Amino acid sequence: MRYRTLGRTGIKVSPYALGALMFATSVGNPDPDDSIRIIHKALDAGINFVDTADVYGDSEEIVGRALEGRRDSVVLATKFSRPMGDDPNQQGASRRWIMTAVENSLRRLRTDRIDLYQIHRLDLDTDIEETLSALSDLIHSGKVRAIGSSAMPASGVVEAQWVAERRGLERFRTEQPPYSLLNRGIEREVLPLAQRYGMGTLVWAPLAQGLLTGRVRKGRQNDLRRAGFFRHLNDEHRLDAVEQFISLAQEAGLPMTHLAMAFAIAHPGVTSAIIGPRTMSHLDDLLAGADVALTDDILDRIDEIVPPGTDVGTLDQAYVPPALQQTSLRRRPAGERTAA
């Protein structure tokens, strides 16, 4: 496996990163021992980048067990900021919570350091300087090696870089955005910004949360469990594009998953793409396509189906700015709407 440099950190990582969400017994593989075998096989195949999060159920505990005796050869990433309980202070990116969250993750992961500590989602209630200051202290203490963001809008990427430089703080070295054949919006601003600032990118949902596996087809009975959980699996526009990609993969003599993964790591701004196998067979399929490289002709055909910088529909877990979610942020109070 050809390793890539994670931004300008000097850290070498595999082009596939092992995502650990599906190792949580509550949402993925119910057998922790089987998940550990999957992790070991991925490491044996050359994957050295593992990404998890505190909010992924018992994922951190399972990853911690799997890495015993192998920790030094793994670049370990985890995330914080999403709610971890009913207490309103058990979430977000305040110094108060960060210092607690990192200790909890270190304990669950059975390690004394985290190679990449990422803010899972933007916290608009906390000044980014507060967040970067706390994360800088973690780097200086040796508990964290590098810091990053996830699903950060382009404006947030720029603001964080500016604040870090202005205040002499450690800066985000990575960004973790969604990216796939169907969701190419980050090509417009986020990826160019990451390249400009020397940030590594760890893209998630390269298989569009299962839509690009080839198992979800238009007009056919699909897996009802997944279709009920992910609304986007029933998006007609996305299904139409998937059918075109399935035809293209067949013409190219490739499994659909191999076409999707090869696309995700072909962009020069992408460092690694996260794979999220739930079973050993899922991992075997993805590993079999690790050496696939797409020709310019195939990439041109992909551009015709979904033009660069555009999205076909949205992922269910994609970041949506608060102003688009809350009508009160888009409308003045009724009594203030007149010009007089």
pLDDT digits (tens, 9 = 90+) for 276-324: 999 999 999 999 999 999 999 999 999 999 999 999 987 777 777 777 8
Question: What are residue 175's DSSP bridge partners?
Answer: 149, 201
Mean pLDDT across the chain, nearest whole number? 93
Domain ranges of the chain: 4-334
Residue 203: both structure tokens together: 């893209």
Among the options 56, 117, 179, 197, which is catalytic?
Answer: 56
- Taking the C-alpha atoms of residue 252 and residue 254, their distance in angstroms, rounded to an integer, is 5
Q: CA of 201: how far to CAs of 7, 49, 151, 285, in Å?
A: 7, 12, 11, 23
56 annotated active-site: yes
Residue 124: both structure tokens together: 């608009």
Question: What is the pLDDT averaged over residues 129-139?
Answer: 98
For the chain, the 3-state helix, strand and coil shares in percent, each to the nearest 5, are 45, 15, 45
Residue 240: both structure tokens together: 């139409």
pLDDT tens-digit map of 228-275 = 445 556 678 999 999 999 999 999 999 999 999 999 999 999 999 999
The pLDDT of residue 320: 78
- Taking the C-alpha atoms of residue 249 and residue 273, their distance in angstroms, rounded to an integer, is 19
Binned at pLDDT 50, 70 and 90, residue 335 comes out as confident
Please check the confidence at residue 51 and state whether its pLDDT lies above 70: yes
CB atoms within 10 A of CB 110: 15
The answer to whether 239 and 271 have CB atoms below 8 angstroms apart is no
Class of domain 4-334: alpha beta
**pTM value?**
0.93
The answer to whether 178 and 203 have CB atoms below 8 angstroms apart is yes
- Taking the C-alpha atoms of residue 9 and residue 13, their distance in angstroms, rounded to an integer, is 11
Question: What are residue 146's DSSP bridge partners?
Answer: 116
The pLDDT of residue 324: 83
Residue 131: both structure tokens together: 């967040």
CA-based nearest residue to 177, from 197, 206, 212, 155: 206
Q: Residue 174: helix, strand or coil by DSSP?
A: strand
Q: CA of 83: how far to CAs of 54, 79, 178, 319, in Å?
A: 9, 12, 21, 15
CA-based nearest residue to 78, from 169, 197, 174: 174
